[in-house]
Structure 1
Amino acid sequence: MDGDNETRAKTAEKAGAVLDEALVFDDSPEKEQRAELAATIATLKGDLEAQTKARDALLAKCSLTMEQARQLTDEHIDRLHRYNDIKDAGQMLFGKLAELKGKTVKDIYNEYSVNIED
């Protein structure tokens, strides 16, 4: 991570030098605001570069290509959607069953040994 911080610092330093040079001749009231925005942009670019390197290092460590990682993520998201759909259907069934039996949903969960937190 020290290399990432060093890269970020160098990027911000370069952007700061260019910014300082450009602002020397700027007398407009927005000068300070532009300077802050330029500094923020330089910091964000450094952060993006560091995160990209960290991502690439993790992918290399896992022996995955970027496409494989995306596919794995997409599959995981699809499974989460299916899980949530099934869970919603189960909760609706417990609600209807509770209504038919004149009980609370919590009572139905307890009756079927299902944790209300699940």
Structure 2
Amino acid sequence: MDGDNGSQAKVAVETTAEPADAVSEAAVFDDSPEREHRAKLAAAIAALEGDLETQTKARDALLAKCSLTMEQARQLADAHIDRLHRYNDMKDAGQMLFGKLAELKGKTVKEVYLEYNVDIND
């Protein structure tokens, strides 16, 4: 009877030990699509971080070459964007005027542009 209890205990220990070993082997040899997806994402993140570092160095080199601080560069970009907005607003107003003029003359907008020697692509 003692031999039976010892065998049962040994079996119980081996049974509890096997799942733990099986779990670690499964984790090491897991070829699931989810694991592959995570690996691809990690590689993509690493590549993007490398690109960011490269672009940051290039930006800093350009700023140093132009003798600009980051704040000055932002102000310059903001001023340029403001000028682009004003230009687009004026262009829109001009296109509306050409549209109204074409309507009054009974012509197409393209014909009015040509009449006033304005490039249709401007």
Q: TM-score, normalised by structure 2?
A: 0.72
User: Greater relative contact order (Cα 8 A, min sep 6): structure 1 or 2?
Assistant: 1
Describe the superposition over 1:59-117 as per-residue Cα deviations: whole angstroms up to 9, x where unpaired. Answer: 00010000000110011111011001100100000000110111111121122121111
Q: Match of 2:89?
A: 85
Gaps in structure 1 of 5+ consecutive residues: 1-23
Describe the superposition over 1:29-74 as per-residue Cα deviations: whole angstroms up to 9, x where unpaired. Answer: 2221111111111111111111100100000001000000011001
The residue identity in structure 1 corresponding to 2:30 is D
Question: Quick check: which has more Rg, 1 or 2?
Answer: 2
Q: Percent identity?
A: 78
Q: Match of 2:108?
A: 104
Match status 1:50 vs 2:26: no
Gaps in structure 2 of 5+ consecutive residues: 1-26
Cα separation, 1, equivalents of 2:29 and 2:40 = 14
Q: Alignment RMSD, CA only?
A: 1.5
Cα separation, 2, equivalents of 1:31 and 1:106 = 59
